[in-house]
Structures are given as C-alpha cells and as structure tokens.
Amino acid sequence: MKAISLEGIHLLGTIDCEEAIVKRPDDVRIKIKSVGVCGSDIHYYRDGKIGVQVVKYPFVIGHEFSGVVEAIGSGVSRLKVGDRVSVDPSVSCGTCDQCLAGRPHTCRNNKFLGCPGQLEGCNKPYIVMPERNCYLLPDPLSFDEGMLVEPLSIGIYSTLSAGDVAGKHIGILGFGPIGMCVFQSLKMRGAASVFVSEPLANRRALALAQGADMVVNPLTEDVISVFNNALPLQQDIVFDCCGMQQAADQAINTLKPGGTFMIIGIPEFDNWAFQADLMRRKEITIKNVRRQNHCDQAAIDAISSGNVSMEGMISHRFHWSEAQKAYDIVANYRDNVMKVVLYFDE
C-alpha cells in the first residue's frame, strides 16, 4: 500500500507501507475517506520536529480522519462492516497511572498517529485501529465533519478544562482551526463575550461572521490596549491558540486578577517567558492543554445537534496526489487557507 511520506524539510513523497490487516481481536480495518492537515503536521513538515519528537525520514504523518469500517476482528462487538466512523488518533495503554486516573491523553505509554517513534500516521488509503478509538458517525454527518471531530474535541476539552465559561469574558489569540474550535465551544457553552486576535484577514472575517464580539489584527493594532479599552475590567480567560510569545504577554496584560491563561498552541521555541511581577500580583493561573480527553462523542453530538458550526472551516480540498501542494498552502498560509482536506479514494 502506498502512503504519503515526509521525506525531508518541506518535502513529501510516497512510500510502500505495510498493508492494513486486522491482526488483533479488537482491531478494525478502516477505508480512509477524509484526512485533515493539522498545524502539528505542519510543524513536522516545516521543522522536522515538535520539541523532542524528531522525525526520522521517511515517515507517514497525519492524524485527523474519518472513514468506513471494512473488516473487524473477532472481538469487535460495537462496530460492523460498513459503519462510518470518526477516529481518535490517540492509543493509550489503559493500565498506567494516568490511564487509571482517567487521563489517557497523558498516558505514560501513549502512542499517537503520525507522531515520530509512535505510530504511522493516516496519510494513506487504509488503516487498522482499535475499536475503542472509533466513534460512530450519525447519518447526517459527512466524512469531512467526521474528520473535524478531532480538532473540535480539542476545542471542547480546552473550554471544559478552563472551567465554567458561561457568562465569562474571553479572549482567543489566534483564529486558526483550533482557535475556531475553541470559539465554537465557548459560544456553545454560553460565554458572555469573545474577543479574537488574528493576523490573517480571511480568518478575522471568519471570526466576525461567526459572531466574535471584537476582532483585532495584532500586526497593526495594539491587542492589549484595544482589549483593555473595550473591557476595562478585563478578561476572565484568555486562550493561546497560536503558540507565540506575544500571546503570553497579551494574555497577562488583558486578564483580570484571578484570570486564567489557557495554553493550547504549540510553540516553536523551548521556553515561555512570563512577566513574573504582573502575573503574581494578578494571581494568574496558567493551564496547559494536551490534545483532548474523552471529548470525541461530545464533538460528534455538538456537530449533529447544530450547537456548533463548522461552516467556513474547510478552505481547500485535494486528492492525495496533490499532497505536496496542499501542505505548502498550509505551511505558507497561502490562498486564504483554514483547514485543508486530503481524499484517499483512488
């Protein structure tokens, strides 16, 4: 079976990889339908690494996908051949202290699709996954919406992790796909106002169209003074969805005393810097988000019920033979890109 492989910095190719065959009783074989290109895929594409996770070439990345069950192991009870599924790319061990504490996303033995040294990614036509990672897609949901369950689950988990957001004033720094998923989750959960900072014009327009209460361009406006002038008592919670140092500075300067800074973005640097004095006097809480925990079904329900809208998320669609072009568009923020999808049908 051919798969799309990372061959070097900014370079994709194809490799022959192992056929997707059901071997374990709890495995299902999935025909992959829709694969999203994620910001973290782009980190591997552009830098060859995320932190200590360094790519050894060639390597197959990709982790956001949906598909159809094609074969099932003897122990599979919930799914049947022909079922449409969204797939959680995180395979946890189920036995370590983290799994037993209900934190499979920080499992000591976690294996994540398309993560160097862990599992081969989903940029290929077929894959084998444990049944427990597969979530049935209700009929009205498209394969593209099924693929968006993974990023949306991160948005939902991030807002749940921030606590009660209802009636709160909130900032989002960065309105890429994850910023939008955080935004939609906040709206669903009753945030009083959401201010957005985003450098790309198309993404600012999307945030406005979805009902953001204020949208600023951090390249031409002073985010701190614009946010603070509009909201003199300042924000309850600020979400970093860009992984930039400025986000930390802006958050600490726009949060109210007792506020919370949620870090979702993946920085390209090794160390954050925080204004110690201001952060201490305001007693700011800083919380990191690692992917998501048990929010797959909530994401499916949110899309099916219409409580969130994924409208405007997908900006580009490509056959996988055009993967290099697709990745270049995302890596260079070209053509008003938001989420790019690859299709693996022959």
Angle between helices 177-188 and 201-209 (to 10 degrees): 10
Q: Would you tell me which residues interact with Zn ion (CB under 5 A)?
A: 38, 92-93, 96, 99, 107
Q: Measured from the CB atom, is 114 or 259 closer to Zn ion?
A: 114
Q: Measured from the CB atom, is 102 or 140 closer to Zn ion?
A: 102
Smallest distance from the beta carbon of 254 to Zn ion, in angstroms?
A: 27
Edge-first strand order for the sheet with 169-173 is 214-216, 193-197, 169-173, 235-240, 255-263, 285-288
- Candidates 158, 119, 132, 88; CA nearest to 300 is 88
How many whole angstroms separate alpha carbon 110 and alpha carbon 91? 6
- Terminal-residue alpha carbon distance, the chain: 12
Smallest distance from the beta carbon of 148 to Zn ion, in angstroms?
A: 10
Smallest distance from the beta carbon of 36 to Zn ion, in angstroms?
A: 7
Q: Measured from the CB atom, is 182 or 223 closer to Zn ion?
A: 182
**215 and 196 in contact (C-beta within 8 Å)?**
yes
How does strand 285-288 pair with strand 255-263? Answer: parallel
Q: Measured from the CB atom, is 191 or 340 closer to Zn ion?
A: 340
Question: DSSP state, 122?
Answer: S
**173 and 197 in contact (C-beta within 8 Å)?**
yes
Question: What residue has token string 């923020």?
Answer: 333
Q: Measured from the CB atom, is 48 or 259 closer to Zn ion?
A: 48
Smallest distance from the beta carbon of 41 to Zn ion, in angstroms?
A: 7
Q: Measured from the CB atom, is 22 or 93 closer to Zn ion?
A: 93
Smallest distance from the beta carbon of 98 to Zn ion, in angstroms?
A: 5
Smallest distance from the beta carbon of 178 to Zn ion, in angstroms?
A: 8
Q: Measured from the CB atom, is 18 or 97 closer to Zn ion?
A: 97
**DSSP assignment of 127-188:** EEEEGGGEEEPPTT--HHHHHHHHHHHHHHHHHHHT---TT-EEEEE--SHHHHHHHHHHHH
Smallest distance from the beta carbon of 103 to Zn ion, in angstroms?
A: 8
